[in-house]
């Protein structure tokens, strides 16, 4: 029999602030952290970004620094000093330091070295591993952690993702012509693209039996998850949202839930014309006429790319615990898209089951379901 997997600790840093308290306050009030460039060295200073409010460290990549802060908060809440695994999702890695030292190459800036630095600074881990699947990286780290627990190969796992802004990937997204010159407006008519952001979030995951045996307080349950890759295009999403549809279907099947039992969907919702229309098609295929409230929190944080899945999973957990739905600012809905939950700040809601979507380039799409206890 598969064990029930629970979250016993969580940590997050984003453009909304450091720690769960600051992020919760911003989510409830609708305060956005997207604004002018402050820390990133780039010539593209006219583009709004979501930067974490911390100064650069001369020795550590911001990717490592943010990951350390989030892991420490998660482990402190869970009451642990180590775990069987630390699993981190990142794609940019230490690119910010590479840019400062270029043209000298430093191999310590790769993705795996970032996870090693986080592990060295935060605790004792039996195994350290890194996933890079673009914007589904952190969600896939959570899925890998859950599979290790379900298989009996691990007891306690710290999983999530971290990603710093870099000039390299800011220019890369700009070359795709999918960056908005204003704050992004997912699912809205006339939307022009996304805002890049940075941040980190990690979850402490274990079986319900493990948490109760050591006297830890479970925060919520990871009741279902799914990953699918439709391989439609290197960067574009398919018109019918096949990968996203399959990921949500798999998550619902694992959780043994009907679509109408979902109370809220935290959409991937990047603000690009292609992504939002594709995700809308997938949502309509899954939920039909009974679409639950849907919103994207990326207008608040920017798109944190590889870290988005874990950051938004923490947001979903906070929303369940505190009883609210994060709302999107008022705007004109695009007829090709779903109509998101709009308003100022947040709306009171009792949330039992929530879906969190994270979709990556190449059609690598993941969905997780968190359930209240």
What residues have CB less than 8 Å from 373, skipping those under 6 apart?
6, 218, 219, 220, 221
State the CB neighbour count (10 A cutoff) for residue 322: 14
Q: Out of 109, 169, 268, 353, pick the active-site residue.
A: 268
Q: pLDDT exceeding 90 applies to what percent of the chain? A: 88
312-364: pLDDT as tens digits: 999 999 999 999 999 999 999 999 999 999 999 999 999 999 999 999 866 68
Please state whether beta strands 17-18 and 5-14 pair in parallel, antiparallel, or not at all (unpaired).
antiparallel
Contact in structure between 139 and 356 (CB atoms under 8 Å): yes
> Which of 108, 102, 103, 132 shows the shortest CA–CA distance to 120?
108
Bridge partner residues of 370 (DSSP): 222, 354
d(CA 74, CA 200): 11
Identify whether 135 is a catalytic site residue: yes
Q: Out of 135, 184, 316, 337, pick the active-site residue.
A: 135
DSSP labels, 242-260: HHHHHHHHHHHHHHT--GG
Confidence of residue 293 (pLDDT cuts 50, 70, 90): very high
252-271: pLDDT as tens digits: 999 999 999 999 999 999 99
Given this model, what pLDDT does residue 232 score?
61
Given this model, what pLDDT does residue 16 score?
98
Bridge partner residues of 368 (DSSP): 225, 356
Contact in structure between 51 and 38 (CB atoms under 8 Å): yes
Contact in structure between 78 and 8 (CB atoms under 8 Å): yes
pTM of the model: 0.97
Contact in structure between 207 and 218 (CB atoms under 8 Å): no
* pLDDT for 237 beyond 70: no
96-122: pLDDT as tens digits: 988 888 777 666 688 999 999 999 999
Contact in structure between 283 and 173 (CB atoms under 8 Å): no
d(CA 262, CA 233): 30
Mean pLDDT value of segment 37-54: 96
Do you know the residue count of the chain? 373
Identify whether 171 is a catalytic site residue: no
Confidence of residue 273 (pLDDT cuts 50, 70, 90): very high
213-233: pLDDT as tens digits: 999 999 999 999 999 987 665
Q: Out of 109, 169, 303, 353, pick the active-site residue.
A: 303
Listed range (1-15, 113-127, 231-245, 284-298) with the worst mean pLDDT: 231-245
Nearest-10 Cα torsion for 303, 88, 136, 373 = -90
Q: What is the CA radius of gyration of the chain?
A: 19
> Which of 207, 249, 187, 271 shows the shortest CA–CA distance to 7?
207
């Amino acid at each position: 029999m598969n064990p029930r997997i629970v979250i016993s600790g969580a940590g997050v840093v984003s453009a909304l602030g450091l720690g769960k308290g600051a992020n919760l306050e911003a989510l409830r009030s609708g305060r956005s952290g997207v604004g002018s460039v402050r820390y990133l060295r780039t010539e593209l200073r006219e583009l709004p970004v979501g930067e974490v409010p911390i100064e650069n460290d001369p020795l550590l990549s911001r990717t490592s620094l943010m990951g350390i802060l989030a892991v420490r908060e998660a482990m402190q809440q869970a009451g642990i000093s180590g775990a069987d695994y630390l699993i981190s999702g990142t794609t940019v890695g230490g690119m910010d330091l590479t840019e400062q030292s270029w043209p000298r190459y430093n191999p310590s800036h790769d993705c795996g070295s970032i996870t090693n630095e986080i592990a060295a600074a935060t605790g004792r881990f039996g195994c350290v591993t890194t996933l890079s699947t673009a914007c589904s990286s952190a969600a896939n780290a959570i899925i890998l952690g859950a599979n290790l627990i379900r298989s009996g190969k691990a007891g306690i796992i710290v999983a999530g993702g971290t990603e710093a802004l870099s000039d390299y990937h800011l220019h890369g997204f700009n070359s795709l012509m999918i960056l908005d010159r204003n704050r992004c407006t997912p699912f809205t008519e006339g939307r022009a693209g996304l805002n890049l952001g940075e941040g980190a979030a990690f979850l402490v995951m274990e079986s319900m039996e493990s948490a109760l045996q050591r006297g830890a307080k479970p925060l919520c349950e990871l009741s279902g998850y799914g990953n699918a890759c439709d391989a439609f295009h290197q960067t574009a999403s398919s018109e019918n949202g096949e990968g996203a549809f399959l990921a949500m279907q798999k998550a619902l099947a694992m959780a043994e839930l009907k679509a109408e039992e979902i109370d809220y969907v935290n959409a991937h919702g990047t603000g690009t014309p292609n992504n939002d229309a594709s995700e809308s098609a997938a949502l309509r295929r899954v939920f039909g006429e009974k679409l639950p409230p849907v919103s994207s929190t990326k207008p608040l944080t920017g798109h944190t790319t590889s870290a988005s899945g874990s950051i938004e999973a923490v947001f979903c957990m906070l929303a369940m615990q505190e009883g609210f739905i994060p709302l999107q600012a008022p705007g004109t809905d695009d007829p090709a898209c779903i109509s998101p939950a709009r308003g100022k700040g947040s709306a009171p809601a009792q949330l039992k089951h929530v879906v969190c979507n994270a979709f990556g380039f190449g059609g690598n799409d993941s969905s997780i379901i968190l359930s209240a206890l």
